[in-house]
Structure 1
Amino acid sequence: MQRHRGPLPDPQQLVEYENVLPGAADRIIAMAEREQRHRHDLQQAGLKQRFAITRNGQRSGLTALAIMAALAAYLGNIGHPGWAVVAGSLDIVAVVTIFVVGKRLGGDAPTDRASAENRDGAEQRTPERPEEEAPQLPQQRTDGVAPDSDGGSEA
């Protein structure tokens, strides 16, 4: 059983491609380089977006916290100490909840390693036994003639 892992065919297969179609190996390598560059650009864009979302969320949370603290101070100042305690308590509970939940969740989205592995060059293998091979689909005709309904050949 042969095993190969990576975005490119093994060197022997590249030689075979080159023998069949001169320049094919260079085209295959260029295609892999473009794909890698594209993948890196997408990852970079995703990281920038997550950073921007996190930063905006922190700013919004800080603003809301400041507003609630100001409201609590205002309510206490105008003679409503009960409502001031409620507003201040909500503030404290919200901050504690964010920290506790953030710690439990790990602060990051789960990653799908299986899809990343497949995308980055899943293991390709050659089956040893015929029963391991993928099912064969019927051959499609390119001459425009439909095969008989019983699957036989034309007379």
Structure 2
Amino acid sequence: MLYCVNIAQVQSLLPCHMREEPEFLALEETESKVHDHLTGLLPNPEVLAQYNHLGADSAQRIIAIAEKEQEHRHKMQEKLVDARLMVMRQARNERKLWQVFAFSLAVVSVICGAITAMLREPIAGEIIGSVGVAGLVIVFVLCLREDKKYFQSPREE
């Protein structure tokens, strides 16, 4: 919005004894500019009413554009939330799959170690079995650490 201040108009509002122009008021006419800034999707009601002078339904079109923009933002936020949920589900399924593989490997390792020990090689059987169990423990510990890290809130870091 643009406001113009005319010194002559201001002087006409003053009482008669104050209308004489003192030296410090002997200035040229000045303009004062005030800019309105939008803080949301819609301009303030006064500006919106002024748009109706441009066309019959200008204000309604501006409101419709703002509604479409808001609807678009909501859809994009929903898509973002859905994508994050999908990534979390995939990560959870992947961790479960790795745990199943680690458990299977540990069971096979223990069975192979037991068979080796029964074939009169107890030291080799013990090594094979313990490596499998150690691998299982390592995988589960790493998964627990990753879960804590993934679900830890930013304040706890």
- The TM-score with structure 1 as length reference comes to 0.62
1:96 to 137, 144, 148: 144
Q: Is 1:32 the equivalent of 2:80?
A: no
1:126-145 CA-partner distances (Å, limit 9, x unpaired): xxxxxxxxxxxxxxxxxxxx
Identity of aligned residues (%): 25
In the alignment, which of 47, 56, 71 is matched to residue 22 of structure 1? 56
Count of aligned pairs between the two proteins: 106
Q: What is aligned with 2:87?
A: 53
Residue ranges of structure 2 left out of the alignment (5+ in a row): 1-33, 114-127
- Report the equivalent of 1:132: none
More helix per residue: 1 or 2?
A: 2
Map 1:41-120 → 2, pairs under 5 A: 41-79=75-113, 80-104=128-152, 106=154
Alpha-carbon deviation of 1:105?
A: 5.2
In the TM superposition, what whole-angstrom CA distance separates every residue of 1:2-27 from its partner, at most 9, and x where no partner exists? 67532100000011111132211011
Between Structure 1 and Structure 2, whose CA radius of gyration is higher? 2
The alignment yields a C-alpha RMSD, in angstroms, of: 1.9
Give 1:11's aligned residue: 45
The one of the two structures with greater contact order (alpha-carbon pairs below 8 A, sep at least 6) is: 1
- Which region of structure 1 is more displaced relative to structure 2, 83-92 or 45-54? 83-92
